[in-house]
A and B are shown apart, each in its own frame.
Chain A
Amino acid sequence: MSVIHQHELELGGDGATQDNILITRVDQLINWTRKSSVWPMTFGLACCAIEMMATGASSYDIDRFGSGPFRATPRQADLMIVAGTVSHKMAPRVKRLYDQMPEPKFVMAMGACTVSGGPYIKHGYHVLKGVDRIVPVDVYVPGCPPRPEALLEGLFRIQEKMQKERLLDKTRAGARPKVLVE
């Protein structure tokens, strides 16, 4: 358990207990298990999804970080990677998928389109100008599309956020980013 720091193991000189007992905070233990198995939802909206698939495949191997199982249902997913252009027509569906995910849930905006509308910002009549207009985004990964390394970096940022979760904070009011309303 690499996350449990050495200073938390001050158990004194009793040899029997020193080898068998670990003391940590419940928050820390749960967060550690959570961040070690961040299951993303299986869905891709456009070309970014190809890069997301590459991240899942053997070369970049997202499995190394516990995020290999892309779940085919929002009910089993912890992380929504919005990979690709979100059109106005698709937006309510994305929102519904987000609503169907159980807490705690995290959202990653992957690629320029989901961050801000990207190349469609001016003339894309049909494109949602940033997915943060419908769901709260935890991590933004820019790029067109972002390379797999960038996506993995985004995953690490999600993991960092997960480690700051508090078990008793059911509403996650402090951790949840805001939806952009104009």
Chain B
Amino acid sequence: MAQVNPAVTALAAAVDKAFGAKITERDLNGIEPFLRCEPATWPELARFLKDRCGMDMLACLSGIDRGKGQGLEAVYNVESCAAQRTGISIRIRVPLDNPVIPSVESVWRTADWHERECWDLVGIRFEGHHNLVRILCAEDWEGHPLRKDYKSPDRYHGIKNNVV
């Protein structure tokens, strides 16, 4: 078991105190300590982490297709620039048929492009984003390539794509 950073424990305790049962799962012992919450809790929690806990940087936003009917998941890694190595990740799971998470681009400016990438490749919709369009794939691309059930197109603009 990795040694838990006391700063992370304190951070999780502060979040627990403010949000209580809204934090549905927690694991501080792994390589990447995380808290889990529902999409509806997220804007409030994000604001709390940034303003009250000093988590001023959204280091990474990952989208995951869990497969096997477990839906999609977004993982937010938030960190503090001032207190180095203090950070925590927040995991939010959404169903495959209605993958909606409130946008946090108003909290961390970085989230703008991160959320666009996550929408582009995994297909999680970030509600409230001012410009949720594709960022990596071409504008007229169809589907979300990193979904488990994704099939790449046989042709794109008349050019054969699947050759093997």
Contact of A182 among B137, B153, B160 (CB under 8 A): B160
Contact B159 A133 (CB under 8 A): yes
Total contacts A-B at CB 8 Å? 31
Distance in Å: Cβ of B32 to nearest Cβ of chain A: 27
Query: B residues within 8 A CB of A89?
Result: 137-138
Q: How far is the CB of B123 from chain A (nearest CB, A)?
A: 14
Chain B contacts for A125, CB-based, 8 A: 145, 150, 152-153, 161
Q: A88-B138, A125-B150, A126-B137 are in contact. Are A117 and B163 (CB under 8 A)?
A: yes
A111-136 contacts to B, CB under 8 A, are: 117, 121-122, 125-126, 128-129, 133-134
Please indicate the chain B residues that have their CB under 8 angstroms from the CB of A158 in the complex.
none
- Taking chain B's interface residues, is the majority helix, strand, or loop, or is none over half, making it mixed? loop
Give the residues in chain A near B137, CB-CB below 8 Å: 89, 126
Closest CB in chain A relative to B97 CB, distance in Å: 23
Is the Cβ of A133 less than 8 Å from the Cβ of B160? yes
Contact of B156 among A88, A117, A122 (CB under 8 A): A88
Contacts of B160 in A (CB 8 A): 129, 133, 182
Interface residues of chain A, those whose CB is within 8 Å of chain B, are 88-89, 91-92, 117, 121-122, 125-126, 128-129, 133-134, 182
5 contacts between A and B (CB under 8 A): A125-B145, A128-B159, A129-B163, A133-B160, A182-B160
Closest 9 A/B residue pairs (Cβ): A125-B152, A89-B138, A182-B160, A122-B164, A129-B163, A88-B156, A125-B145, A133-B159, A121-B164
Extra inter-chain contacts (7) besides given A88-B161, A133-B160, CB under 8 Å: A88-B157, A91-B159, A125-B145, A128-B159, A129-B163, A134-B159, A182-B160
